[in-house]
Amino acid sequence: MENKREKFIRVAENRTNKILHLIDLLGNCANKRVYDYSEEDARKIFSEIERHLSITRSKFKQNSGKSKFKLQ
C-alpha cells in the first residue's frame, strides 16, 4: 500500500511534469512567424501565471492545519 509520502511524490512529479510540458507548449506561441501577439498580451499571460504560482506557493508554506484561536 502506498504511504502519504509515496503518493505525494507520484502525484507531484506527474503534475509538475504536465505543467512543464504545457509551459513549453505555451512558449511555442512566441513564434511571431505563426502567431500575432502584443507585449500586453504576453504581460497578461505571465501576470496570471505568476499570480496562480504565488497562490500555490503560499499553500506549501502554510502549516498543515489551520491555526487555532488563542487569546494568549
In Å, the largest CA–CA distance within the chain is 63
d(CA 41, CA 65): 38
Which residues span the domain enclosing 25? 1-45
pTM: 0.78
- Parts of the chain with a pLDDT under 70: 63-67
Question: Which three cell numbers, joined as nine digits, stand for 47?
Answer: 501576470
Q: Would 33 be classed as within a structural domain?
A: yes
Q: Would 2 be classed as within a structural domain?
A: yes
Q: Would 40 be classed as within a structural domain?
A: yes
Q: Would 35 be classed as within a structural domain?
A: yes
Q: Report CA dihedral (48, 62, 66, 10) to the nearest 10 degrees.
A: 90
d(CA 46, CA 40): 10
Q: Would 11 be classed as within a structural domain?
A: yes
Q: Would 63 be classed as within a structural domain?
A: no
Q: Would 36 be classed as within a structural domain?
A: yes
- Report, in angstroms and rounded to the nearest whole number, the Rg of the chain calculated over CA atoms: 19
Q: Which pLDDT belongs to residue 66?
A: 64
pLDDT tens digit string along 27-38?
999 999 999 999
Our count of domains for the chain comes to 1
